């Protein structure tokens, strides 16, 4: 018996449930059935999902983008741990209300997104399948730029990262995205902004006309370590959503020696992970950035930043020059330099497949947690920034986390 069960729920544009897929296959008298799915749940970025079903399934109509009002239907992926022990019940009870449904005891919502793509496909045996695809709710952030005139309070900001980030989101896709003062209305229906707690390190800068998702990703990573944070747009009800922020990381600190939470340590020796791969990559590293602002020749405004890794060897320095010919503020130039350093820093990359028991996805760890990875005598603390969950056409579940250095 499978230890994990899945349910895929489809809602229309109003947030009303129109169909569900539970398990695999259909009764003989009704053609169709779920062939498999995959979803990538990820902090800070939209993530993605794919759902494959038999093309003769009558429920295709609710996912067929050629039909009216199916665009941006909401698709939810629910999980249930059949073991259903005390640890699972405790974890389940502490989930936020929007991830549970009183009509589905024992189930929880793990990922959700909008319907944005579909295709019909016939294989060599003449069997037709239907594939639907989409992205997570964070995709709303990519839909709009910061659309205000430059050098206004709507483009140039200073304050704690959380405050600045939530102002940008509210003023460009939230309830505050109205014209005037915005150059065009940008309100996304049903979206609210979590109350501001003014957390995070201080930031100042100007981001006129830049894509909102790019700015959110930049600000969330600013300051590094405990100074940064994660955000997600989550579904809170019928066609309602909320932009949320958490300081530090989206999940919990479960590294070895954290002193609060039971540690999670992934290692082949612990038999909770397999197909291990470790890579230490500095081929594309940038550790020194020289920023040039307004001015000419000797009057040019200059600011620079380094990561510290340029001292790792006599030949370790890798420098680039960047320009912003409209910028005179050295603090903003330094922020731009830090952004380049963050994007092209050295990378320790671990990849592996989860062995669901004894270390269970959900109960023991989630996307956004800090964990410890051990491999070949190395021990590194990492943040789980994403996870790809796949159920193939044989009913086999695969979970592959995505990790990155946490500094």
Is 184 inside a domain boundary?
yes
Cis-peptide, bond into residue 181, ω within 30° of zero? yes
Cite the DSSP H helix spans in 221-310. none
Closest by alpha carbon to 191, among 229, 150, 243, 143?
243
Task: Report yes or no: 82 and 5 within 8 Å, Cβ to Cβ.
Answer: yes
Please list the residues that pair with 204 across neighbouring strands. Answer: 158
Given this model, what pLDDT does residue 339 score? Answer: 82
Indicate whether 30 and 79 sit together in one domain. yes
Name the helix (H) or strand (E) containing 168: helix 161-172
Is 260 inside a domain boundary?
no
Confidence label for 407 from pLDDT (cuts 50, 70 and 90): low
Question: For the chain, how big is the Rg over CA atoms in Å?
Answer: 23
Residue 29 has pLDDT above 60, yes or no: no
Indicate whether 158 and 215 sit together in one domain. yes
Is 254 inside a domain boundary?
no
Instruction: Convert the pLDDT of each residue in 148-189 to its tens digit.
Output: 999 999 999 999 999 999 999 999 999 999 999 999 999 999
Is 252 inside a domain boundary?
no
Given this model, what pLDDT does residue 297 score? Answer: 85
Instruction: Convert the pLDDT of each residue in 189-224 to its tens digit.
Output: 999 999 999 999 998 888 999 999 999 999 998 876
Given this model, what pLDDT does residue 34 score? Answer: 86
Q: Which domain holds residue 385?
A: 265-281+348-405
Is 239 inside a domain boundary?
yes
Task: Report yes or no: 223 and 161 within 8 Å, Cβ to Cβ.
Answer: yes
Is 62 inside a domain boundary?
yes
Cite the DSSP H helix spans in 140-255. 161-172, 212-220
Instruction: Convert the pLDDT of each residue in 78-108 to its tens digit.
Output: 999 988 899 999 999 999 999 999 999 999 9
Taking the complete model, does pTM exceed 0.85, yes or no? yes
Task: Report yes or no: 31 and 54 within 8 Å, Cβ to Cβ.
Answer: yes
Structure tokens at 46: 């939209």
The number of folded domains in the chain is: 4
Instruction: Convert the pLDDT of each residue in 253-303 to its tens digit.
Output: 999 999 999 999 999 999 999 999 999 999 999 999 999 999 988 899 999
Task: Report yes or no: 328 and 336 within 8 Å, Cβ to Cβ.
Answer: no
Residue 26 has pLDDT above 60, yes or no: no
> In the block, which residue shows the tokens 């915005």?
182
Task: Report yes or no: 109 and 100 within 8 Å, Cβ to Cβ.
Answer: yes
Compute the distance between CA of residue 361 and CA of residue 81 in angstroms, rounded to an integer. Answer: 10
Is 376 inside a domain boundary?
yes
Structure tokens at 103: 């009509």
Reduced to 3 states, what is the DSSP secondary structure of residue 110?
strand
Instruction: Convert the pLDDT of each residue in 295-354 to its tens digit.
Output: 988 899 999 999 999 999 999 999 999 998 888 889 889 988 988 998 898 988 899 999
CA distances from 17 to 11, 345, 395 (A): 4, 44, 24
Indicate whether 318 and 370 sit together in one domain. no
Question: How many helices (H) does the chain have, and how many strands (E)?
Answer: 4, 21
Is 80 inside a domain boundary?
yes
Given this model, what pLDDT does residue 315 score? Answer: 98
With pLDDT > 70 as the criterion, what percentage of the chain qualifies? Answer: 96
């Amino acid at each position: 018996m499978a230890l994990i069960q899945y349910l895929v729920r489809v809602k229309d544009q109003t947030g009303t449930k129109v169909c569900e897929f539970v398990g695999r296959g259909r009764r003989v008298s009704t053609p169709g059935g779920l062939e498999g799915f995959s979803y990538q749940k990820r902090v800070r970025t939209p993530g993605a999902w794919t759902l494959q079903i038999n093309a003769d399934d009558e429920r295709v109509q609710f996912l067929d983008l050629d039909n009216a009002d199916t665009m941006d239907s909401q698709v939810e992926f629910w999980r249930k741990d059949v073991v259903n022990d005390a640890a699972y019940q405790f974890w389940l009870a502490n989930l936020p209300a929007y991830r549970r449904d009183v009509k589905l005891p024992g189930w929880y919502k793990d990922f959700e997104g909008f319907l944005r793509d579909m295709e019909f496909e016939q294989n060599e045996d003449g069997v037709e399948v239907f594939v639907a695809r989409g992205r997570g709710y964070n995709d709303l952030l990519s839909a709009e730029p910061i659309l205000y005139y430059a050098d206004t309070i709507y483009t140039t900001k200073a304050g704690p990262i959380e405050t600045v980030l939530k102002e940008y989101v509210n003023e460009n896709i939230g309830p505050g995205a109205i014209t005037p003062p915005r150059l065009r209305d940008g309100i996304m229906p049903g979206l609210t902004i979590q109350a501001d707690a003014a957390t995070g390190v201080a930031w100042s800068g100007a981001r006129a006309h830049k894509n909102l998702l790019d700015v959110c990703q930049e600000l969330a990573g600013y300051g590094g370590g405990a100074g940064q944070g994660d955000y997600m747009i989550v579904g809170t009800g019928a066609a309602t959503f909320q932009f949320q922020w958490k300081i530090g990381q989206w999940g919990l600190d479960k590294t070895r020696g954290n002193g609060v939470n039971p540690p999670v340590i992934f290692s082949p020796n612990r038999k909770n992970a397999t197909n291990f791969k470790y890579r230490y990559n500095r081929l594309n590293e940038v550790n020194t950035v020289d920023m040039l602002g307004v001015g000419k020749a000797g009057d040019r405004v200059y600011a620079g930043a380094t990561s510290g890794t340029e001292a790792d060897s006599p030949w370790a320095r890798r420098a680039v020059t960047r320009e912003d010919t409209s910028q005179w503020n050295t603090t903003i130039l330094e922020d731009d330099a830090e952004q380049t350093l963050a994007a092209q820093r050295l990378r320790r990359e671990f990849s592996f497949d989860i062995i669901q028991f004894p270390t269970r996805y959900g109960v023991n760890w989630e996307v956004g947690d800090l964990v410890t990875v051990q491999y070949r005598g190395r021990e590194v603390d990492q943040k789980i920034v994403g996870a790809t969950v796949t159920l193939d056409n044989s009913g086999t579940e695969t979970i592959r986390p995505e990790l990155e250095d946490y500094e």
